Structures are given as C-alpha cells and as structure tokens.
Amino acid sequence: MLQHVGAELSAHETITAEQEAWGSIAQLAAEYETIAQAAQHDRFATLIRQSGLTPDEAEDAIQSDTFGALAAELRRAEANHHNIDALMPRLVAARSFEDADDIASVLHHRLARATARPAGSGRTRKAPRLIVGFISEATGPISAEMKKALTEHRELIQQRAEAVLDQALSERQEWALALGDAPTEVKAAAAWRRHAHTVAAYRDRYGITTRTPLGPAPDSDAQKIDAARAKAALARLRDLASVDGSDDPSRTMQREDASRRL
C-alpha cells in the first residue's frame, strides 16, 4: 500500500508512514533483544560453564528463568567494553553460592555492580556501543544470519528515532523546542542530532507524551538506566545549543519562551 500512496506523500511523510508500519522503538528494541538472546545464548552458556561454578551450579544458572536477564547484563557489560571472559571467574570466586536460591540472579547482581561504569577511565575510556544512545549492541561471535537480523533491526531503530525527531521538529512540538536549536557548525550539528535521537528514542520506547522531553520519573530499573542516558543526552544537547546560539538574542528568547511553556 505504501508503494501506491508514496507518490502523493512528501519524502518525510513516506518515511513516517513506513516507520509506523514497522512499529515503535519499544517493539523494535524487544525484537532486537530476542534475536540477541538467541544469537548469544550458546556463547554465554559456555562462559557460565567455564566461570568456576560446579557443573550442577552452572546448569542451574543456565536453566534459570533469570538467565535471560543475566545474558542482557552480560551484553550491557560488553557494550561498555568490559572483558566478561576475565570478569566472570572473579565474580564467581568472590563468594560461594551455597545459600543462593537463584545463582543466575546472584551473578546478575554481582555483574551489575562490577560494571556500573564503562571500562577504562579518563582519556582511555571508550564510548559505549549503544544503539540510539541506550540500547546495548550485541557483539562478539555471532552467526551471519543472526548478525544480518541484528543489523537490520539496529537500522530500523535508528531510522525510527530519526522519524520521531523530524516529525516533532516539523510540528514544533514543545518537547522538541526544549532541546534548543541545532548548531550551525557541521560537527556540532551532527552531535546535536545524535543526542536528539536518543531523547526521541527514549520517548518512543516508553510511550512518553508529555511536553517535557523526558516525562515522568522512571518506574523500573531498566527504564532508570535508559533515563540516565537520555538525561545525559539532553544535558549535552542544551550545552551544544547554548554555545552555538549564545550571541543570538532571538534564539535565546525562543528557548526561554519554550522553557516557560513547559
């Protein structure tokens, strides 16, 4: 159907219509996570078996209902450049599991605490491998078929974020106005767009419709992590807009007017 109506729509409207057909970032991210779980299951299961757990403990962890959450945490750690092959044996050796009801849950907790910050420090710290600023990218050995599916979903997520942002900007929605104006310098403008995509993607993933960019306080641990990324992106956006428009009174007045309306 899109092929028939595409000629009558602007390029922007066509992209928006296609994005609506593909689904929201909430749906696309969930599909990405499902594919990643399947693509990395065997590798992460092997990691658990070689981590220093007894064979019975390892199988209990792999068969646990919380193994999926542990796998997601392992993926997040890798996206933050932690060496999970070296880290997991240390986490296992830290304390016994004799009293543990759910070994996978305990490992998840230990891993989350140990990798709360990206690996490295200062200038040696690498940027996390994140899709639209907060979705952990699946890395490591992955079959060609799975890698193709993950790449396709990553591109759809990025395109959806672009479409949500462009629509909000074209309609002058208040949350988009609150981001400030895009800088005129090429590199700064590209950085502004990248951070703006993160805010737009966060809103789309969590169904936020408020006039404020980030909406109400998050109510789950997963959303809190994403909200922290979106908040950092919003702060960087405003820094970029402020520096570029600091000498332009009209742009300053526009931002102040948008802030008052919020």
Query: Is residue 237 located within the same domain as residue 179?
Result: yes
pLDDT in the model for residue 230: 96
Please indicate, yes or no, if residue 177 is contained in any of the structural domains. Answer: yes
Domain end: 91, 113, 136, which one?
A: 136
Give, for 38, the enclosing helix (H) or strand (E).
helix 25-49
Reported as a pLDDT band with limits 50, 70 and 90, residue 256 is very low
Domain end: 136, 164, 194, which one?
A: 136
Please give the torsion angle defined by the CA atoms of residues 211, 212, 214 and 217, in that order, rounded to the nearest 10 degrees. Answer: -100
Please indicate, yes or no, if residue 3 is contained in any of the structural domains. Answer: no
Which range has the worst mean pLDDT, 70-74, 114-118, 127-131?
Answer: 114-118
Backbone angles phi, psi at 127, to 5 degrees: -70, 135
Rounded CA Rg of the chain: 21
Q: What is the DSSP string of 148-184?
A: HHHHHHHHHHHHHHHHHHHHHHHTT-HHHHTT-PPPS
Please indicate, yes or no, if residue 161 is contained in any of the structural domains. Answer: no
d(CA 43, CA 248): 54
**Considering the chain, what percentage of its residues have pLDDT values greater than 90?**
72
Query: Is residue 108 located within the same domain as residue 187?
Result: no
d(CA 117, CA 104): 21
Please indicate, yes or no, if residue 29 is contained in any of the structural domains. Answer: yes
d(CA 44, CA 56): 16
Query: Is residue 89 located within the same domain as residue 191?
Result: no
Residues 76-101 as b or e (16 or more Cβ within 10 Å = b): bbbbbbbebeebbeebbeeeebeeee
d(CA 246, CA 141): 47
pLDDT in the model for residue 13: 54
The model's pTM is 0.80
Please indicate, yes or no, if residue 7 is contained in any of the structural domains. Answer: no
- Greater confidence (252 vs 72) lies with 72
Domain end: 91, 108, 136, which one?
A: 136
d(CA 253, CA 256): 5
Query: Is residue 127 located within the same domain as residue 216?
Result: no
Please indicate, yes or no, if residue 143 is contained in any of the structural domains. Answer: no
What residue numbers bound the domain in which 253 lies? 172-261
* Strand positions, DSSP E, the chain: 130-131, 135-136
Domains in the chain, number: 2
Please indicate, yes or no, if residue 145 is contained in any of the structural domains. Answer: no
Beta-carbon count within 10 A of 138 CB: 24
Query: Is residue 186 located within the same domain as residue 132?
Result: no
Beta bridge partners of 130: 136
Query: Is residue 177 located within the same domain as residue 89?
Result: no
> Are 80 and 115 a contacting pair, CB within 8 Å?
yes
Query: Is residue 37 located within the same domain as residue 89?
Result: yes
- 151-200 pLDDT, tens digit per residue, is 999 999 999 999 999 999 999 999 999 999 899 999 999 999 999 999 99
Query: Is residue 198 located within the same domain as residue 250?
Result: yes
Please indicate, yes or no, if residue 234 is contained in any of the structural domains. Answer: yes
> Cα separations (Å) of 111 from 69, 72, 108, 133?
11, 11, 5, 21
Query: Is residue 199 located within the same domain as residue 246?
Result: yes
Beta-carbon count within 10 A of 238 CB: 18
